[in-house]
Amino acid sequence: MSLDYGTAIAVNSIAEEHKYIAAHPCSCKGRWQVSVQALLKGARRRHYDRVDVICRQCGQQRTFLFDISSFLPVR
């Protein structure tokens, strides 16, 4: 799966990621459960958090991509 870093959601904390995911439930209105979370390094010293989720109710899968460069130290 190819990720579009240009569409990453900018957040200022992990708590904001959780709030965003909770505010965007599955199309069946089910709640998401995190299945995989990965730290990614992008171009221009940007950092991203990829969060793969699965709906607890219907099993649908989705990926959220967050730009976490505002709070992750550049190395």
Residue 39: name the closest of 6, 7, 8 by CA: 8
Residue 32 pairs in a beta bridge with 55
Q: 5-67, what's its fold?
A: SH3 type barrels. (2.30.30)
Type of residue at 70:
S
Tell me the H-state helices in 10-68: 14-23
Average pLDDT in the 60-75 region? 89
Place of tokens 């709640």: 31
Note the pLDDT tens digit of each residue in 10-48. 999 999 999 999 999 999 999 999 999 999 998 788 999
